[in-house]
A = this chain, B = another copy of it.
Amino acid sequence: MRQEYYEQLDAISDDLVHLTRLVGSAMNLATQSLLDANLQLAESVIAADTEVDSVAAEVEAKCSEVIALQAPVATDLRIVVGALRISASLERMGDLAEHVAKQARMRYPHVAIPTELRATFAEMGGIAEVIVSKTGAVISTKDVALSADIAAHDEQMDRLHRELFTIVLSPSWSHGVEAAIDVTLLSRYYERFADHAVSVTRRVVNIVTGEPYVAVSLDDQQL
């Protein structure tokens, strides 16, 4: 019975790590589809989001089962309650990757972002990949020391997000309103993606240490 119990908790943790890989890959491919105006890639990201949703639903089912059958307390209870919140965040990160891909699809065959901003979006995509990969590592290893790294990556993302606002609002912006809106929304998707990663990490810290979960001051507008 106890053995089975710990296997169930491990299975939940494995599913969460699996979700970080799915949404990391989704954001990575979405960025590529954006930079290359690659319609097929964008479509594949959009189609793949159902898998994220179904793994997230499975986490919820497993958590409910553990609650009903095992009556978890203390750390185990924090794991289960935390997993419910973490899977919701990861599901949302998958949605954000999907939004990037939809933006790429909407502007196809054109590239949705001006050439001079390619490097910035490539960098945001790179940070998204690193941050979600480290988030997976935090979940699997419970090494909460990594959370400082993740916060630093989130700050990098915020800085790029602010830079993009400055660029689209500068008098030298020559791409018009539509491109400015595209850039703003896309930039926001990346920034929110990183915010959710921070939120997941804080949940893991709460699970491991028992310290209260500190809500992320999500996406304070920098504009």
Contact = CB atoms under 8 A, between A and B. Distances in A.
Interface of A: 53, 57, 60, 63-64, 67-68, 71-73, 77-78, 80-81, 84-85, 88, 91-92, 95, 99, 102-103, 106, 168-169, 173, 176-178, 180-182, 184-185, 188, 212-213, 215, 218-221, 223
A223 B99 contact: no
A178 B184 contact: no
B81 A72 contact: no
A53 B104 CA distance: 35
Q: Is the interface of A mostly helix, strand, loop or mixed?
A: helix
B64 A95 contact: no
Contacts of A173: 177
A169 to B, nearest CB: 6
Number of copies: 2
A61 to B, nearest CB: 10
20 contacts: A53-B215, A63-B81, A64-B77, A67-B81, A68-B73, A71-B71, A81-B84, A91-B215, A95-B218, A95-B219, A103-B221, A169-B177, A173-B177, A176-B177, A180-B180, A181-B184, A181-B223, A184-B184, A184-B185, A185-B188
A180 B223 CA distance: 13
Contacts of A68: 71-73, 77
A77 B77 CA distance: 14
A90 to B, nearest CB: 13
Contacts of A182: 223
B185 A221 contact: yes
Closest 5 CB pairs of A and B: A71-B71, A177-B180, A68-B73, A181-B184, A67-B67
A183 to B, nearest CB: 9
Nearest to A165: B181
A67 B60 contact: no
Contact of A88 (B63, B85, B223): B85
Q: Choose among A64, A181, A219 the residue with the greatest number of B CB atoms under 10 Å from its CB.
A: A181
Contacts of A177: 168-169, 173, 176-177, 180
Contacts of A60: 81
Contact of A168 (B73, B88, B103, B181): B181
